[in-house]
Structure 1
Amino acid sequence: MSKCTPASALSTGRKKGHWCLLPYDAEGVSGTMLGAGELTDAPDVTLPLGVSGWHGIHIGFWAPAIHETRPTIIKLKLTGDDIFHRIWHQPDNLSWLQTELRETFWTYADLTDRDLVIGQQKKGFPAALHIAYVKLEPLSPERVAALEQDRSRTDTRRVVALNDGCSFIHRDGCTTEEELLEQVELYRHSDVGTVSWAVNYGDATNYPSNVGTMVGTGYDDFETIGGRNMVESLRTLTEQGIVPFESAMRHVHSMGIKFHAQFRLGMLAAELFTTEAQGAFSRNHPEFRIVDRDGTALPKLSYAFPEVRNLMLSLIAEVLEHDVDGIDLCYIRGPMYVGYEATAIEDFKHAHGVDPREIDEKDERWIRHKADYVTQFARDVRTLVDDVSTRRGKKLEVAAQPYWTEALNLHHGLDVRTWLTEGLVDTLQMGPRDEAMLALIKAHNCELVANVGARTPENYVKFGLDGYDAGAVGIGIWDMNVPQYNPEHWEILRNLGHRDKVEAYAQSLPKMKTIKLKSVGEMDICHTTNKDTPENWPPEMITQITCG
């Protein structure tokens, strides 16, 4: 790694604004490691590769637990590319990890006249990194042909990548379009076929809106560093004329991937620790709040009021003026949508002749009555989307994210059976867990996307295969922007549209190769004088941290 250029960016010791060169020795490999601390602020450097033709690129790195719970983040791109790819790894404090190198596959590429550019995550929450080596694996003409044939397939593009539209900005502090697009560029040769990008959080938006309130409007003090990162980043991007969802949409379209605008439907009317994410409508209209059974007004708006439903409809209409391929109604963010508001009580009295406060709150009449307001919203959305589809001469899709059983949905005010009967949704994205719910979806010719909520390699495989068995057209990954840079997760996620590969993962999950370190710099980490460490504490850990 000492061959990186420019040489002026390298140093043999820790130095601000420079990469540190650290000699290391490990089992079967030794050399010079390229490292930077969280606050080093190292510039991009280029590693000459000096090869031609197609190769697989593998990265050997060190993630010492001395960085506590903070991740290692490695940013890589090839010369000629504008957008970095990331490798992210979270060290484990009490493991052998800190005394091992990890090797992970990065990508396949034709390396003729191309070199490797290495960068550091310096904005938002900065991250340290240590790269030990780059390994190049030549590909035979047969492998190249097979790879290109597989990349040209569209039938395997079944993954729906959900993105909350905010957590990566909290974390990374993006201020350029290239940094923003790191979220989606890695989908280029993957099984991702649709990106579902959240554009709002109730009446707060992550774009300049004429209907809602952009996050951070009017605020200059923040409870968290992440909240400050998001607000300042959105302001900087907006000043440059960059709208995050528009940039992501154009980029994924250039890769042949569909883009859905995701709407998070619950409208919080008060926030204690994230006031910068509260919209003006919800803050200024206490008369539209949900009311509890005992008469307490709650800090959330009710869909029993036409004004609240129309506010969300207006947000959807605003976004539909852009070149989206559909919308994703995220009902699980979140219930409840109706309570004991005066209008709901009076409507119920008129329909049933009884005050709902005088019957059990689980009475089916009352549960269905509350769900009727949300169903009316779903009808209005369908009408709106169909009208826009007619005007644009292109069918726009309506996807919805409910819960996985009919009873659970009704409990939260979601009458999915009526949605299906009236054709209010084209696709339901949910966990494929309940046979009755799956049969209901199939009976109404609605498409199913099997959603994975708990993001673990085991769940990607389990729900992926369950989804295939249930006839799902896709596999959705909740906030995939969180786990997608973890190599052991990404290996599965990028191949989730290949059922044969998912079945293979069910037998053996992908794991990074590990190589035992002997020394780094002047530190020997394969010997120790402390022979009485607890059983689950490797002696090398004591050596490295305490030199004891």
Structure 2
Amino acid sequence: MAEILIADMRRVQPREALGEQPDVGHWFVCPYSAKHFKGYMITVPNGISVPQVRLPLNASGPHEIYIGVYHGHTPFVQDATAGYAGARHFLRLRLSNDACFDTIESEYYSPIKDGFHPEKEFTLNEIMEVHWRDANLTGQALIFANASGEFASHTFASVAYVRLVPLKGDMWQQHQLESPRDDTKRLVATFDGTFYGNYPADEQAIRAYFEPMRDSDFQLVMWATSRLDACYYLSKVGTPLQALPEGYINRRYLLTRDFQTWVRRGIDPLAVAVKAAHDCNLQIYGSMRLQGIDMPPYHQFHGAVTFMTQHPEFWTVAEDGRRMPHVSIAFPEVCQLIVRLFREQVENYDLDGIHLLFNRSYPFVLFEEPVVRDFLAKFGEDPRRVDRMDQRLWGHRSSYVTMLMRELRAMLDEVGAKRRRRLAMAAHVMNSVRNCRYFGMDVGTWVKEGLVDHLIVHPCTSIEELGEKRVMPATIAEFARLTEGTGCRIYADLYPRRLPPEKIRQRVIEYYDAGADGISFWDTYARMWRKSEWSMIRIAGHREELKDWAKRASSFWRKVSIESICGISLDPRYGIQTHG
């Protein structure tokens, strides 16, 4: 059976949703001529009210689904060709029997943040085709919608064509090989609570973050539950996110505003997330940042009164007495609050464990009064006078964090005994064992005492030069030696966030060869919409098979040259970049 190319988007229904001229309320139909075929694309601005449209597929059986998108000569595309990562466009889509919409995001790169990837350079006379997913298409249609939310403002949704490739013969065998098995469930997703600025609006929007991980190699989801006591759920121990005043200047203004929808409805988004995760056969951990504040003058955290804003006496303190914008774990009051918050989460929600983000809001212990007092009693010296590289100082600061970890492990064992299961603990840590020790994380003791089940190694600020701005394979080998023979699993946090599929494949193989048990993906919400990359990521737990999948990685993305749109030439020799 041959592949099916649907290039005439005038076939979508209802026809009344289409317009031959761009106007509010309609998808604009644009005829185009590509190198080997002609078609009609549809496009519409995001953030405006426009009907969803339905495309009959007239196909049966399992297929690969590829979507061709064109984003046009907009300011954001101009930014992209100049190398800015902010050039994003969004198309929402689902099959007719799907429970919620998925999203396709344009795949541009910033040479500064993401590196230089010439194989994915594009021009403004090219359609970008991405592998969306595999599915049984019997009786199915495709439904398209534009995106809402401020994160999508000044962007467009477009569909140029749909390409369906039947899964037969070798293609079916490859599809079967890519199916998840117990031994491939090695991937970790981290949702740190920003969601491009807009908090999920409803139950379907939360579920949409879990569905792309269904039938994949993902096993664990670290889901943001709080920044210390500023909570992403209807907490009674902490304070649910509070809205900022209208027009308030803070990068979390939209997030806190959107969260109030859940507060008004009395529906707990954490309960929704837990159910969505388990429905997709995923484990979900409550994830906490230990809360620093934004850089001044925009430092008002969530615009709400929090433990940190109420108690500056529990902030970290530098050698010279200056207060630093982090809470200190050296204070029992801080540790007690952390334990109470996590206890509330595992007692009231069907979470599978907890997760601490030690890769943000550090340092957690400096020269606070208890630290100085205890160091003097133990060593007879003032810690503010010793060299910052003194190992006694490192060990002393780490002892407070280790005490917190012991208290959390004891609490989890207590609650787990009542639930007749082990509740796990995971932690994001620094990019070397030495760097961890300097910042107060004695990971060796954590592992030896069985306090943690998962360590996720993240590229962080370093006290020494460690090479590229990513987790190096040598670092993973160091952690693997530390955990050898224990029940603790090591994960490499894959950076940068945006990489072409083949480079993802190569880097993942490097980490496995160095001893990683699995791979983690920071800000997973920002990766799952970049579909060619996601197609590689979701099968990255196939440790052995990956070595043979270079050709497969290259199949997830391609460019299709177009010669004209609406009868207007896009010949790059004649100033396409300066049109208008």
Taking structure 1 as reference, are residues 91 and 367 closer, same or farther at Cα in structure 2, changes over 3 Å only? closer
Q: Secondary structure at the match of 1:25?
A: strand
Deviation at residue 501 of structure 1 after TM alignment: 4.5
User: What is the match of residue 557 of structure 2?
Assistant: 512
User: What is the match of residue 484 of structure 2?
Assistant: 442
Matched, 1:159 2:159: no
Deviation at residue 134 of structure 1 after TM alignment: 1.2
Alignment RMSD: 2.6
Taking structure 1 as reference, are residues 459 and 103 closer, same or farther at Cα in structure 2, changes over 3 Å only? closer
Amino acid at match of 1:346: R
Matched, 1:406 2:451: no
Q: Which runs of 5+ in 1 are unaligned?
A: 527-537
When structure 1 is superposed on structure 2, of 387-396 and 99-108 the one drifting more is: 99-108
Q: Deviations over 1:81-132 (max 9, x none)?
A: 2211111114579964321112222222222222110011022223312211
Are the aligned partners of 1:45 and 1:119 in contact in 2 as well (CA < 8 Å)? yes
Q: Secondary structure at the match of 2:546?
A: helix
The partner residue of 2:360 within 330, 333, 358 is: 333
Are the aligned partners of 1:404 and 1:437 in contact in 2 as well (CA < 8 Å)? no
Taking structure 1 as reference, are residues 507 and 132 closer, same or farther at Cα in structure 2, changes over 3 Å only? closer
Identity percentage of aligned residues: 30
What CA distance in whole angstroms lies between the structure 2 residues aligned with 1:181 and 1:447?
A: 27
User: What is the match of residue 287 of structure 1?
Assistant: 313
User: What is the match of residue 531 of structure 1?
Assistant: none
1:91-490 mapped onto 2 (5 Å cutoff): 91=108, 96-126=122-152, 127-140=155-168, 147=175, 151=179, 153-168=181-196, 170=197, 172=198, 174-217=200-243, 219-224=245-250, 227-268=252-293, 272-273=297-298, 275-277=300-302, 280-321=306-347, 322-430=349-457, 431=471, 432-434=473-475, 435-455=477-497, 456-457=499-500, 460-490=504-534
Q: Secondary structure at the match of 1:491?
A: helix
Deviation at residue 509 of structure 1 after TM alignment: 4.8
TM-score normalised by structure 2 residue count: 0.85
Are the aligned partners of 1:58 and 1:103 in contact in 2 as well (CA < 8 Å)? yes
What CA distance in whole angstroms lies between the structure 2 residues aligned with 1:523 and 1:77?
A: 32
TM-score normalised by structure 1 residue count: 0.90
What CA distance in whole angstroms lies between the structure 1 residues aligned with 2:204 and 2:232?
A: 18
Deviation at residue 75 of structure 1 after TM alignment: 1.1
Deviation at residue 386 of structure 1 after TM alignment: 0.8
What CA distance in whole angstroms lies between the structure 2 residues aligned with 1:196 and 1:85?
A: 20
Are the aligned partners of 2:179 and 2:215 in contact in 1 as well (CA < 8 Å)? yes
Q: Secondary structure at the match of 2:474?
A: coil
What CA distance in whole angstroms lies between the structure 2 residues aligned with 1:305 and 1:376?
A: 11
Deviation at residue 25 of structure 1 after TM alignment: 0.7
When structure 1 is superposed on structure 2, of 260-269 and 96-105 the one drifting more is: 260-269
Deviation at residue 136 of structure 1 after TM alignment: 1.9
Matched, 1:48 2:56: yes
What CA distance in whole angstroms lies between the structure 1 residues aligned with 2:297 and 2:146?
A: 34
Total equivalences in the alignment: 532
Taking structure 1 as reference, are residues 48 and 306 closer, same or farther at Cα in structure 2, changes over 3 Å only? same
Matched, 1:36 2:27: no
Q: Secondary structure at the match of 1:2?
A: helix
Deviation at residue 443 of structure 1 after TM alignment: 4.8
Taking structure 1 as reference, are residues 279 and 417 closer, same or farther at Cα in structure 2, changes over 3 Å only? farther
Amino acid at match of 1:87: I
Deviation at residue 319 of structure 1 after TM alignment: 1.0
What CA distance in whole angstroms lies between the structure 2 residues aligned with 1:245 and 1:424?
A: 25
Q: Secondary structure at the match of 2:389?
A: coil
Are the aligned partners of 2:365 and 2:397 in contact in 1 as well (CA < 8 Å)? yes
Deviation at residue 485 of structure 1 after TM alignment: 1.3
Are the aligned partners of 2:244 and 2:253 in contact in 1 as well (CA < 8 Å)? no
Taking structure 1 as reference, are residues 274 and 26 closer, same or farther at Cα in structure 2, changes over 3 Å only? farther
What CA distance in whole angstroms lies between the structure 2 residues aligned with 1:447 and 1:92?
A: 32
Taking structure 1 as reference, are residues 353 and 481 closer, same or farther at Cα in structure 2, changes over 3 Å only? same
Q: Deviations over 1:471-522 (max 9, x none)?
A: 4332111122112211231121011011244324568853522111111114
User: What is the match of residue 543 of structure 1?
Assistant: 576
When structure 1 is superposed on structure 2, of 60-69 and 73-82 the one drifting more is: 60-69
Taking structure 1 as reference, are residues 492 and 372 closer, same or farther at Cα in structure 2, changes over 3 Å only? same
Amino acid at match of 2:104: I
What CA distance in whole angstroms lies between the structure 1 residues aligned with 2:20 and 2:228?
A: 52
Deviation at residue 145 of structure 1 after TM alignment: 7.5
Q: Which runs of 5+ in 2 are unaligned?
A: 1-8, 80-86, 112-120, 458-470
What CA distance in whole angstroms lies between the structure 1 residues aligned with 2:262 and 2:453?
A: 34
Are the aligned partners of 1:51 and 1:111 in contact in 2 as well (CA < 8 Å)? yes
Are the aligned partners of 1:54 and 1:108 in contact in 2 as well (CA < 8 Å)? yes
Amino acid at match of 1:133: Y
What CA distance in whole angstroms lies between the structure 2 residues aligned with 1:270 and 1:205?
A: 21
Q: Secondary structure at the match of 1:319?
A: helix
What CA distance in whole angstroms lies between the structure 2 residues aligned with 1:18 and 1:429?
A: 46
